[in-house]
Amino acid sequence: MQPDINTLHQQIRAGNVAAIARGITIVENELNGYEDLLLSLNDNSRARVVGITGPPGAGKSTLVNALLHHWLQENKKIAVIAVDPSSPFNYGAILGDRIRMSEFYTNDNIFIRSLASRGALGGLSSKIIEVADVVKEAPFDLVVVETVGVGQSEVEIAGLADCTVVTLVPEAGDDVQTLKAGIMEIANIFAVNKADRDGAEGLYRNLRIMAHEKANGEQEIPVLKTIATNGTGVPELARHITDFLEVQEAIPDKRLHLLTEKCWQLIQAQRMKGLNQEELSKQLAKSIGEPGFNLYAFTKNYLLK
């Protein structure tokens, strides 16, 4: 059944939870009306995107949970998009909606949705930009995106998020020296979580040194200690996130790069719409045995038909 996209769009803008969930489902699975819904979106939303990333076991979900408690005290409306590993059988999210956040399911100021990564690299879902745009259309103050946690390949989050928090823990086996090429490039804030554990102080000091070296006269990347299980350091982390969002440039280079890549993919998909792979295979089967067959000449002629 074709959904009434105009009505759905208005409901999303009004903050209707069921409509937001329906909009995400339509976009994520490319159901009827998904293009119309995307075309109706307004990019002038007030919601800012906060990315929470880091290696597995860093306590990202617990940290998000603690931040939600803090932001609720400030009367903020928050959406959480948690990107989970995919089931190899049905491409659904294995973890589902995070159990740690279950206490917020009935809270009118919190919206939580899990997405499956579906094999996408970079710790994000292939539809994360579209989903985030749908959620930003609703009247939220912040949209928190928590990634799968696949380490240094999570550079995509730096393009999606207005502020990226990289969460690390001492027992995760992270050699700080190996973080320079990737993690240092995407972090706007470092959170040394589980700061009461052995080795946390050493990790904190090393990150501070790296942040100082990278600053090169500019403002250093903040490095904070947190214990998400009891809320230690969480108010300070929330304040640094707010401070960063207030001074951040309108279109960072990383955001522009990600949007350029996404636009390129959309253009490719549009131009491929008239092509049928089964028909291509039949034509190729006929031509491949002909004398002087050349794959590149065949491709060029096929596109000109």
Per-residue model confidence as pLDDT tens digits over 158-202: 778 889 999 998 875 545 555 555 666 788 999 999 999 998 998
Say if residues 111 and 80 touch (Cβ distance below 8 Å): yes
Q: What length does the chain have? A: 305
Please say if the pLDDT value at position 51 is more than 60. Answer: yes
Q: Which residues, 6+ apart, have CB-to-CB distance to 29 below 8 Å?
A: none
Residue by residue, DSSP assigns 232-259 as BTHHHHHHHHHHHHHH--SS-HHHHHHH
Ordered by where they begin, the domains of the chain are 1-40 (no CATH), 45-255 (3.40.50.300), 260-304 (no CATH)
Which of 54-68, 81-95, 265-279 is modeled with the greatest confidence?
Answer: 54-68
Distance CA 255, CA 160 (A): 6
Q: Which residues, 6+ apart, have CB-to-CB distance to 10 below 8 Å?
A: none
Please say if the pLDDT value at position 91 is more than 50. Answer: no
- Percentage of the chain beyond pLDDT 70 is 79
Please say if the pLDDT value at position 83 is more than 80. Answer: yes
**Residue 41 phi/psi, 5° resolution?**
-70, 145
> What Å distances lie between residue 186 and 35, 92, 156, 275, 294, CA to CA?
31, 28, 9, 38, 44
Task: Give residue 117's pLDDT.
Answer: 58
CA 47: distance to chain centroid? 14
Closest of 294, 298, 297, 266 to residue 280, by C-alpha: 298
